[in-house]
Structure 1
Amino acid sequence: MEPIVWEWVNFLVRWLHVITAIAWIGSSFYFIHLDLSLRRRDGLPPGVAGEAWQVHGGGFYNMMKYTVAPPELPEKLTWFKWEAYATWLSGFALLSVLYYHGAALYMIDPAVLDIPWWGAVLLSLGALGLGWHGYDRLCKSPLGKDDVKLAAAGFVFLVLVAWGLSHLFSGRAAMLHVGALIGTMMSANVFRIIIPNQTKAVAAMKAGQVPDPALGKQAKQRSLHNNYLTLPVVFLMISNHYPLAFGTRYSWVIVAVVLVVGAVIRHFFNSRHAGKPTPWWTWAVATAGVAVIVGLSAAGTRTESAAAPARVELAQVEFAQVEEVVLSRCSMCHAAQPVWEGIGAPPRGVTLDSAEAISRHAPQIRVWAALSDAMPPGNVTGITPEERRLLAAWTDQLPR
């Protein structure tokens, strides 16, 4: 019964995380759109940077933004923070339920770094904490005075983190942790910078003082970072379902390209919201980036020697050879009644415990175990590069 209960805990926590992420991303996108669509006109109240008229749900809205703060605060003020907090808390809960609880299966790859489960958990916590600290130091350094230089430094920082994590964790966990770090940075921006700065501004107003404009400027910079990082973090968080993203040799380079693709797509929409000339070039960059990602995903598995081809020409592969590999490396989980501890049902409903089932699932075997090293997770059954090449050659020989 325990695997069934744990599976439902996993599912419900994931559902909660998706719900809270939708709420946070939705409010973030809306306010970025609102901020960029504000327009100045004669007759606006003192201190108002601009206004925007909007229509939704059968009603009209007149939105105005004060550069620092209004002359006096209304009795009720809505704070947008709980979406960010709930997204991070539910995400960390999901990380604990799935990855920390199953660290031996999902986080550790002995071919990369052979460590105990608790070592992997400590590395994960350290990466999240130190990663946020490094990013925050960058923002508060002299680079923080120039948005372009700071963005370039932040990009290099995240790519180095992706490369480093690829030498600590399995491919699945490495890419997921880059996303978790970015999510931590975004949530901490709200918790440590944006909301505290707004709280200081409110306190100053209540004391009859003029709020420091630098507080709003710093908060806006972090909010802009959150906006441009949203699309990459969504890609990274769903990457664990797509082995050609995380289970191939250049997965950390794929992270770098995704950061660029996500940023230029957001730039397109931000420019449109601001009424600037439409930067159609961004879609050419995004398309080229996706093509690069697809090409990188075909470079072979992470465990394959960089000097060796990902696939080699073999003589006609006998099915008996394939069956022996699959039954010995995969069927302990992918069986009608899995024998691997903690797994109550075959993952994704895929069974590989018979010749007929192996043949039926040849496309999945090709993607998950031949072109990538996503399966077995963390290579817990010790499949060899030669066996992966055998599976690749077999699937190459099948009729398309």
Structure 2
Amino acid sequence: MSKITDSLPATIIAGIILTILMVFAAQATIGASLGGWQGAPDHASSYTAFIVRWLHVISGVMWIGLLWYFNFVQIPTMPKIPDEHKPGVSKHIAPEALFWFRWGAMATLITGLLLAILSNYLVDALALKLGIGYGMWFAMIMWFNVWFIIWPAQKIALGLVDAPADQKPKAAARAKMFSRINTMLSIPMLYAMVGQSSNGFSM
């Protein structure tokens, strides 16, 4: 087991294999109990949409999980960390977390738009004729904030790019403000997404 858990790629591969085995086991069990293979998609396009939805959820967990990590854990905890230990976070943990944070946002946006296209609701959603449209607009605003406000500001605040010393506190404050905005927007965004999936969206 340690050969799997000592390596993140091996862990991910094991998770994918476990998922495949679960799907086949569940299909076999359901098919046997109902007298035939049940639950398989009728068309390749519907299964493609399902896979895209699955990837969309995985990407969203990565993105929002790290967003909440920054706001619930790292930002409130940094003032409590002794100054001599802070570089361990700012020079090593934060840049790595920001890499997965911004690319999680990108993957969530791309798979979300692709899912809307495959499910034939993109135009209606963007026109706010569907409840999920509100979530999509919130998500796009959040994605913009990540790539064009939070990440550029964090590069200055963390010293990843050359900038005057007096710009770092301003950049850190800007990154924090828009990270909090994204945290705020994530709440109605997730409501819209879950509401769409359960047909329970109401205004």
Q: Same fold (TM over 0.5)?
A: yes
Q: Is residue 83 of structure 2 the alignment partner of residue 44 of structure 1?
A: yes
Distance 2:120 2:172 in 1: 37
1:218 Cα offset (Å): 1.5
Q: Is residue 180 of structure 2 the alignment partner of residue 224 of structure 1?
A: yes
Give the counterpart of 1:90 among 89, 94, 111. Answer: 111
Distance 1:11 1:203 in 2: 41
Other-structure match for 2:162: 204
- Where is the helix percentage greater, Structure 1 or Structure 2? 2
Counterpart amino acid of residue 50 in structure 2: F
Distance 1:20 1:86 in 2: 6
8 Å CA contact 1:204–1:211 kept in 2: the answer is no
Give the counterpart of 1:32 among 57, 65, 71. Answer: 71
What SS does the corresponding residue of 2:180 show, helix, strand or coil? helix
8 Å CA contact 1:194–1:219 kept in 2: the answer is yes
Distance 1:215 1:221 in 2: 10
1:200 Cα offset (Å): 4.5
1:28 Cα offset (Å): 1.5
Distance 1:91 1:234 in 2: 13
Quickly say closer, same or farther: Cα 1:77–1:185, change in 2 above 3 A: closer
Distance 2:56 2:138 in 1: 15
Distance 1:195 1:221 in 2: 12
- What do you get for the CA RMSD once the two structures are aligned? 3.1
Q: Is residue 139 of structure 2 the alignment partner of residue 186 of structure 1?
A: no
Distance 2:141 2:95 in 1: 26
Quickly say closer, same or farther: Cα 1:195–1:39, change in 2 above 3 A: closer
| Residue pairs, 1:320-331, within 5 angstroms | none
Quickly say closer, same or farther: Cα 1:221–1:77, change in 2 above 3 A: closer
1:31 Cα offset (Å): 1.7
Q: Deviations over 1:50-103 (max 9, x none)?
A: x6xxxxxxxxxx9655xxxxxxx67x9423311111111111111111134xx7
Other-structure match for 1:398: none
What SS does the corresponding residue of 1:204 show, helix, strand or coil? coil
1:17 Cα offset (Å): 0.2
Other-structure match for 1:136: none
Q: Deviations over 1:251-309 (max 9, x none)?
A: 3xx3xxxxxxxxxxxxxxxxxxxxxxxxxxxxxxxxxxxxxxxxxxxxxxxxxxxxxxx
| Structure 1 unaligned blocks of 5 or more | 52-61, 66-72, 104-119, 128-164, 255-400
Other-structure match for 1:236: 192
Distance 1:241 1:96 in 2: 16
* Higher-RCO chain (CA-CA 8 Å, sequence separation at least 6): 2
What SS does the corresponding residue of 1:99 show, helix, strand or coil? coil
Counterpart amino acid of residue 135 in structure 2: G
- Where is the strand percentage greater, Structure 1 or Structure 2? 1
Counterpart amino acid of residue 232 in structure 1: P
1:228 Cα offset (Å): 2.1
8 Å CA contact 1:200–1:211 kept in 2: the answer is no
Other-structure match for 2:51: 12
Distance 1:31 1:197 in 2: 15
Distance 2:76 2:83 in 1: 17
Distance 1:28 1:17 in 2: 16
8 Å CA contact 1:204–1:210 kept in 2: the answer is no
Other-structure match for 2:35: none
Distance 1:211 1:8 in 2: 53
1:239 Cα offset (Å): 1.2
Other-structure match for 1:177: 133
Other-structure match for 2:28: none
Distance 1:180 1:22 in 2: 16
Quickly say closer, same or farther: Cα 1:215–1:22, change in 2 above 3 A: same
Other-structure match for 2:3: none
1:3 Cα offset (Å): 6.1
Distance 1:203 1:178 in 2: 35
Q: Deviations over 1:6-59 (max 9, x none)?
A: 101110000000111111121112221221133447x624xx8xx6xxxxxxxx
